[in-house]
Amino acid sequence: MTVETEPTPEVVTVKAPPSLKSQVVTWLRRLLLTAVVVGAGYYLVTRWDEVWAAMRQVPWYSAVLSLVAVVAGIMSSTLGWQAIVDDLGKPVGRVRASQIFLVSQLGKYVPGSVWAYVLQMELGRKAGLPRARMFVSSLVQLGVSVVASLALGVLALPVLLAETPGAVWLYAVLPVGVVALHPTVMTWGVNLILRLLRKAPLDHRLHWSTILKTLAYAMGTYVLFGVHLWLLATAGGAPQLKVLLLCVGAIAIGLTAGLFFFILPSGAGVRDLLVALALAPALGPEAGAAFAVASRAMFTVADVGTAGVAALVARLRPPPAIEPA
């Protein structure tokens, strides 16, 4: 005898509607992304005449190689940031790290470069990463990058000091930065920040390998950025090694100086001025200023392009979900 049983009812999971706070954060994130893209576009449009005047002197192949060097430098910076994020928790993966870092970097084109870090924390949170982990990773990379840039900035310091003696004050932070690179000191600083954020401290000390790897990536980033500037500056003449060293030092110290003027979009004007002053003895004041502006424009194109590609790749091939630690 067969006993018929009633079919088991299907369990339907009803997804709760997003909260008001979640909707507000989502729309604020979208508005911020829109603002940074508009800000980057505004810079290109308003400086186009100056950029075009400089770029007309550059052969197309030098311009292409220069842009490739910028992109390579940006990717080196991304890998340095990922090394820190992975040391603070479970690895996030290359695709997800690129998406978060590259898209968030567009925030520096909005007045008050702090928006890059805000956007980074929000994108990380959306991917399932704690905001505190994003914030701490950015601060650690920032500190390491400042040490790397000041070390390479020595290459251009004699020229810059002749025009702007006040630039030497940037090096007041170098001894502190070198000491802070020690894993014990760095871990203490990270835990202090986490304590202020009311978050649990790290369960391990930051590793030497992570700090040295991040430092190496930072040095590589500035060298590649210097190569980019060198390819532009020497396009009309014979390339010289001393000009290459000058370009590496100038763009490294220029980017660091821009950090102290964070209220400006990506340190606008500050980096350009230092780069122009450094190039002036070799190229002349007008050419130095023109290539400084052209360099910033190429950085803008590279930032927007790499962010767009990273976002597209993440959309076409979504990375696996991050499991909570």
Three-state SS string across the chain, please?
Answer: CCCCCCCCCCCCCCCCCCCHHHHHHHHHHHHHHHHHHHHHHHHHHHCHHHHHHHHCCCCHHHHHHHHHHHHHHHHHHHHHHHHHHHHCCCCCCHHHHHHHHHHHHHHHHCCCCHHHHHHHHHHHHHCCCCHHHHHHHHHHHHHHHHHHHHHHHCCCHHHHHHHCHHHHHHHHHHHHHHHHCCHHHHHHHHHHHHHHCCCCCCCCCCCHHHHHHHHHHHHHHHHHHHHHHHHHHCCCCCCCHHHHHHHHHHHHHHHHHHHCCCCCHHHCCHHHHHHHHHHHHHHCHHHHHHHHHHHHHHHHHHHHHHHHHHHHHHHHCCCCCCCCC
State the total domains in the chain: 1
Question: In this predicted model, what pLDDT tens digit does every residue of 127-145 receive, in sequence order?
Answer: 888 888 888 888 899 889 9
At residue 36, the pLDDT reads: 53
**Radius of gyration in angstroms for the set of CA atoms belonging to the chain, rounded to a whole number:** 23
Domain presence at residue 13 = no
Per the structure, the complete domain to which residue 96 belongs is given by: 25-315
Burial class (CB in 10 A: 0-12, 13-18, 19+), 92: buried
Domain presence at residue 8 = no
Spacing of C-alpha 312 from chain mean position: 19
Domain presence at residue 12 = no
Domain presence at residue 295 = yes
Domain presence at residue 144 = yes
At residue 111, the pLDDT reads: 64
Domain presence at residue 325 = no
Q: Closest Cα to residue 225, out of 158, 164, 153, 174?
A: 153
At residue 189, the pLDDT reads: 87
Query: What letters, b where the CB count within 10 A reaches 16 and e where it falls short, cover 244-254?
Result: bbbbbbbbbbb
CB 69 within 8 A of CB 233: no
At residue 32, the pLDDT reads: 54
**Which residue type, as a one-letter code, is found at position 127?**
A
At residue 219, the pLDDT reads: 95
pTM above 0.85?
Answer: no
Domain presence at residue 189 = yes
Count of CA atoms in the C-beta half-sphere (13 A) of 324: 2
CB 120 within 8 A of CB 107: yes
Domain presence at residue 6 = no
* Cα–Cα distance, 295 to 268 (Å, whole number): 12
At residue 50, the pLDDT reads: 58
Q: In the chain, which residues have pLDDT < 70?
A: 1-55, 111-113, 162-167, 235-239, 260-270, 319-325
Question: In this predicted model, what pLDDT tens digit does every residue of 255-308 receive, in sequence order?
Answer: 887 776 555 555 556 677 777 777 777 777 777 777 787 888 888 889 989 988
